[in-house]
Chain A
Amino acid sequence: MSLLRVKGLKVHYGGIQAVRGIDFEVGEGELVCLIGANGAGKSSTLKGLMGMVQCSGQVTFGGTRLSNLATHAIAARGLSLVPEGRGIFGRLTVAENLDIGAYTRRERAYVRADLERMYGLFPRLAERRSQLAGTLSGGEQQMLAMARAMMARPRLLLLDEPSMGLAPLMVQKIYQTVADIASEGVAILLVEQNAHLALHTSQRGYVMESGSIVLSGPSQALANDPGVKAAYLGE
């Protein structure tokens, strides 16, 4: 029984169809990647899952239907999105950002424990907890966005281009953290343009091209696929 099951998901913006009816699944505790070129519909897929854009199709999460729910209700069911461009609250402090991440949770004692856990996972955020989030560097903002999403104790974490615009060493750090989070048993759906990185971190992958899934399978197999190599890995 998979945690997330998507059937025939379509996303349109006015007359333009960004996602043309795709099927995919993410298992409990699984790290799955969704790769593809610019404009393939990867981010639209994530927005569709979160109910942020007009979409149709069947989305089941942990046995319940998500279709037609509002974004906040979807978030409350355990999906947490780290949006493209991070979407941090720039004029609030790091600590306030993390606090809002735990908005749906009422057990204050556990939230406080999780906050300390996040500071342990991201020591840089601990140092800057009372600093305005907008003054952090790009990499630190990405860390904050991930930590904030984790504060909700999600069952499935949706990561949209976590490597975007970051220096190579920072990308390594971020991906180390992705692996750490996955090893704690949180399922992750990773959207990336950097196919090499995504396929080496994940267990399974889907390849998207102009709104459709054209290929899927174990990440290792995808990385060795001649078509993927030619189109995305530049080999």
Chain B
Amino acid sequence: MTALVARLRRNPLLAYGLLAVLLLLLPFLVGAGLGRGWVRVLDFVLLYSMLALGLNIVVGYAGLLDLGYIAFYALGAYLFAWLSSPHFGIHLPFWLVLPTGAALAGLFGVLLGAPTLRLRGDYLAIVTLGFGEIIRIFMNNLDAPINVTNGPQGINLIDPIRIAGLSLGQTTQLAGITFSPPHLYYYFFLAMTLATVFVALRLQDSRIGRAWAAIREDEVAAAAMGINTRNIKLLAFAMGAMFGGLAGGLFAAFQGFISPESFNLMESIMILCMIVLGGMGNVPGVLLGAFLLTVLPEALRYVGDWQRAVLGNVVVDPNDLRMLLFGLAMVMMMLYRPAGLIPSRQRRREFDADDGVAEQEQASLYDAGA
């Protein structure tokens, strides 16, 4: 095993090749080993990865705490439903609707960002939280006088994604292999996720990424360096929102049904937790966080079955247990790995440095003479 790891370290091409094969075979391995339902979970892992990467731009890169992020997911999902379902009788192709949804979400990102430019930390969190709720309540109530959102019933029969005549919503035989809809969506989501990972990584190392880091550290000093803090902050809101809008459109097509219920505050908090748990500002960490927080709640559903098998009846509702274990896990994380499971280079140094700062300050008393 260690020999293999060493070999992979020396040969990144081989490592990426193995990873690619694993990712391509994953839905079949998971489907065979754990059952069909888990392929759907994999699809959600990818959806949440995109969402978490988007929120990571706002929170991790630019340091702007956004508790209403799910609103952009909702906007993307509803736009897809409006332009691609019997609700309005419009059936536009996905390659037109997805970018439009991302653009609409981006526009709302700017609309949310503009009045909150002067706010930071707690104040920003409260305003964004309100924004998220406003969007959800609008979706709940915009069924009269004109039925725009169909209220709490949601919108049904949303078109699946069709690529060159192939509907991802239908079981298909390709080269003798049977692909169910979750399998087909898996590959489509995988491609989209890889694209967002690429964009997120490039942004981090770009001039804009450095400007975000500067604003996160000290906004006044950043402006004095010639950084247009207003535009760069709005850009963070817009970019993050676009990722959310894109994921929302994919979610609508995948589910075929959306309702305001899917876009509540708990979802926003969950996505934030993915970032914090995995490692804020760090792409691999964020991906790990999205994976764990999507898979663990599903896995904990089995706890009910075990209770029934061992004790004869369900003593603790798995749903309650899930939240309990989840809370416990977050507390443990904050105590033992506050920078996240895979912290970014900066966060790691920062937490390591905390121990070193006292020493440094001691040394500085003498360094004038050095």
Contact B228 A92, beta carbon cutoff 8 Å: no
Binary CB contact string for chain A from 80 to 106 against chain B (1 if under 8 A, 0 otherwise)? 110100011111110010011101100
Let me know if B368 and A89 touch, CB within 8 A.
no
The answer to whether A75 touches B224 (Cβ under 8 A) is yes
> What class of interface size applies to chain A in its complex with B?
35 or more
Residues in B whose Cβ lies below 8 Å from that of A134: 350, 353, 357
- Indicate whether A27 reaches chain B with its CB closer than 8 angstroms: no
The interface residues of chain B lying within 8 Å CB-to-CB of A30 are none
A139 sits at the interface (CB 8 A): yes
* A139 and B364 form a contact (CB under 8 A): yes
Minimum C-beta distance from B303 to chain A (A): 40
Determine which of B207, B226, B357, B368 lies in contact with A139 in the assembled complex, contact meaning CB atoms within 8 Å. Answer: B368
| Interface segment out of the listed B81-89, B97-105, B121-129, B211-219 | B211-219
| CA of A5 to CA of B218, assembled, Å | 29
- Chain B residues with Cβ below 8 Å from A166 are 368
Q: How far is the CB of A132 from chain B (nearest CB, A)?
A: 5
The reply on B361 being an interface residue by CB < 8 A is yes
- Asked if B227 contacts A103 (CB within 8 A), the reply is yes
Task: Judge whether B218 and A89 touch: CB under 8 Å.
Answer: yes
Most buried by A among B223, B226, B357: B226
Q: State whether A148 touches B225 (Cβ < 8 A).
A: yes
Asked if B346 is at the interface of the complex by the 8 Å CB criterion, the answer is: yes
Please tell me if B229 contacts chain A, counting CB pairs below 8 Å: yes
> Is the CB–CB distance between A83 and B226 below 8 Å?
no
Residues of A within 8 A of B353 (CB): 132, 134-135
| B231 to chain A: closest residue by CB | A72
> Do the beta carbons of B224 and A140 come within 8 Å of each other?
no
A46 nearest CB across to chain B (Å):
10
Taken together as a complex, chains A and B put the C-alpha atoms of A210 and B275 apart, in Å, by 50
**Interface 0/1 of B137-153, CB less than 8 Å to A:** 00000000000000000
B367 pairs with A104, CB closer than 8 A: no
Q: Is the CB of B210 within 8 A of A87?
A: no
Q: Tell me the smallest distance from the CB of B274 to a CB of chain A, in Å.
A: 22
A173 in contact with B368 given A91-B350, A132-B353 (CB within 8 Å): yes
Known: A92-B346, A134-B357. A76 touches B226 (CB 8 A): yes
Residue pair A103, B221 in contact (C-beta under 8 Å): no
A113 at the interface (CB under 8 A from B): no
- Most chain A C-beta atoms within 10 Å of own C-beta, residue among B225, B227, B365, B368: B225
Q: Does A230 contact B (CB under 8 A)?
A: no
B162 at interface (Cβ–Cβ under 8 A)?
no
Residue of B nearest to A174 (CB): B368
Is A70's CB within 8 Å of the partner chain B? yes
Specify the chain A residue showing the minimal Cβ separation from B222.
Answer: A100
Q: Is the CB of A83 within 8 A of B207?
A: no
User: Bound state CA distance, A170 and B369, in angstroms?
Assistant: 8
With contacts A137-B363, A169-B369 taken as known, whether A71 is within 8 angstroms of B221 at the C-beta atoms is no
Bound: A140/B218 CA distance, A: 18
CA distance A59 to B40 in the complex (A): 63
B175 CB → nearest A CB, Å: 49
Please list 14 pairs of residues, one from A and one from B, whose beta carbons are closer than 8 Å in the complex, sorted by A's number.
A72-B227, A81-B224, A83-B221, A87-B220, A87-B224, A89-B213, A90-B217, A96-B213, A132-B346, A135-B353, A139-B364, A167-B365, A169-B368, A170-B368
Closest 8 CB pairs of A and B: A137-B364, A87-B221, A170-B368, A104-B226, A167-B368, A75-B226, A169-B368, A89-B217
Given contacts A89-B214, A134-B357, 19 further A-B contacts (CB under 8 A): A72-B226, A72-B228, A75-B223, A75-B224, A75-B226, A87-B218, A87-B224, A89-B218, A91-B350, A100-B222, A101-B225, A103-B225, A103-B226, A137-B360, A138-B364, A139-B367, A152-B225, A167-B365, A169-B369
Q: Which chain A residues have a beta carbon within 8 Å of chain B's beta carbons? A: 50, 52, 70-73, 75-76, 80-81, 83, 87-93, 96, 99-101, 103-104, 132, 134-140, 148, 152, 166-171, 173
Binding site for A on B (CB under 8 A): 207, 210-211, 213-214, 217-218, 220-230, 346, 349-350, 353, 356-357, 360-361, 363-365, 367-369
